[in-house]
Amino acid sequence: MDKPEEVRRRRSIGAYIAEWWNRLRRRSYELEPQRQVAIVGSPNVGKSLIFNRLTGIYVTVSNYPGTTVEIFRGRTYIDGVLYEIVDTPGMYSLLPSSDEERVARKLLMEERPDLVVHVVDAKNLERILPLTLQLIESGFTVVLALNMMDEAKKVGLRINTEILSEILCVPVVPVVATTGQGIAELRRVIHETVRASNTNQIRCGVRKSDQSHSRTPAR
Ligand SMILES: Nc1nc2c(ncn2[C@@H]2O[C@H](COP(=O)(O)OP(=O)(O)O)[C@@H](O)[C@H]2O)c(=O)[nH]1
Ligand SMILES: [Mg+2]
């Protein structure tokens, strides 16, 4: 049995953590987010799971104006910077052929997020990369999240993310959204890429081991 003193001490630590968490949440929705990140990609690639893993302090859901399409918005701090993360409806292309795609395109074009995380199913890369190229051509700062790496490995696929990153000139982060593997790295790369794009220093192939490998792409 715990002594009453020990119980009191644990309760006060619990109350302190709860108070700190509530203060953080309150502050996060009172303040205007400093940066905005949109999560895009085709349906069923793990966008919402990644959104949930990236956010957590404050999430809202609303219909996009004039439609019944739901948009989830959440907030998170990365390195002291308050980000708004937007989970967009599934899209295959920037040329819309469904209500969801129209809303996703409109949201991107009107809100012009600081960064777009293109979530792709690592097993179906070749079918999905055209959207990555459209996003890059439309002037968005893009990070490619190669999700479902667990399934890709199971079917024997090996993807050289460094070469892919160099070819596309966007950072590529392998992720397993179901386990959370790669999410910390994704947060780090999002923050680093937003900072680099603000100073016009887009890196080609952001690597863990070689941070000096950078160049400004031709525009
Ligand atoms: N095996 C595996 N399944 C995943 C992964 N990420 C998402 N899923 C599953 O894929 C399905 C679609 O995920 P969801 O986040 O709703 O995709 P969305 O339509 O892009 O928002 C769900 O059943 C997830 O559990 C992953 O990394 N590995
Ligand atoms: Mg979803």
For residue 10, the tally of other CB atoms under 10 A from its CB is 11
**CB of 163 closer than 8 Å to CB of 174:** no
**Residue 219 included in any domain:** no
pLDDT digits (tens, 9 = 90+) for 9-59: 888 888 888 888 888 777 777 788 899 999 999 999 999 999 999 997 678
pLDDT digits (tens, 9 = 90+) for 80-139: 999 999 999 999 999 988 999 999 999 999 999 999 999 999 999 888 889 999 999 999
**Residue 42 included in any domain:** yes
pLDDT digits (tens, 9 = 90+) for 128-153: 889 999 999 999 999 999 999 999 99
Are 128 and 176 within one domain?
yes
pLDDT digits (tens, 9 = 90+) for 162-186: 999 999 999 999 999 999 999 999 9
Indicate the pTM of the whole model.
0.84
* Residue nearest (by alpha carbon) to ligand 1 atom 8: 46
192 Cα distance to chain centroid: 13
**Residue 65 included in any domain:** yes
**Residue 205 included in any domain:** no
147 lines ligand 1 (CB under 6 A): yes
The Cα–Cα gap between 117 and 122 comes to: 14
How many Å lie between the centroid of ligand 2 and the Cα of residue 114? 21
Structural domain count, the chain: 2
What is the gyration radius of the CA atoms in the chain, in angstroms? 19
**Residue 214 included in any domain:** no
